[in-house]
Amino acid sequence: MSVTDRILTALTTVIRMNDKVEEMAGLMKEQQRRLDALTGRVIRLETVLELALSRIPGAGARLLDGGPAHFGPPTGCTLPEHPCRCRH
């Protein structure tokens, strides 16, 4: 293999790598767009939750003191009608 062949192979490799980097940059932009959309949805859900809880007297306190609210990680509920798996 001559020096020219090695240089051309190296340039071809760099060009291919550049194409892959540009493709990855496009994918990252798309993922960031999706993340921003999800962040907006979470903010809207938080707003709805806060508005709903503001209409229920003492609901915010129950959430803070670990009361019977149906939020948080599963804790082993045995009642099948409760998808949150909270304890009752």
> Does residue 86 form part of some domain?
no
> Does residue 47 form part of some domain?
yes
Q: Six-digit token pair at 46? A: 């938080």
> What pLDDT does 16 receive?
94
> Does residue 29 form part of some domain?
yes
- When divided into structural domains, the chain yields a total of 1
> Does residue 87 form part of some domain?
no
> Does residue 76 form part of some domain?
no
| pLDDT digits 0-9 by tens, 39-48 | 999 999 999 9
> Does residue 28 form part of some domain?
yes
> What pLDDT does 88 receive?
45
> Does residue 77 form part of some domain?
no
The gap between the terminal CA atoms of the chain, to the nearest Å, is 76
- Report the pLDDT averaged over residues 19-29: 96
| pLDDT digits 0-9 by tens, 12-22 | 999 999 999 99
> Does residue 74 form part of some domain?
no
What residue spans of 1-88 are helical by DSSP H?
3-54, 59-64
Domain of residue 27, residue span: 3-55
> What pLDDT does 1 receive?
73
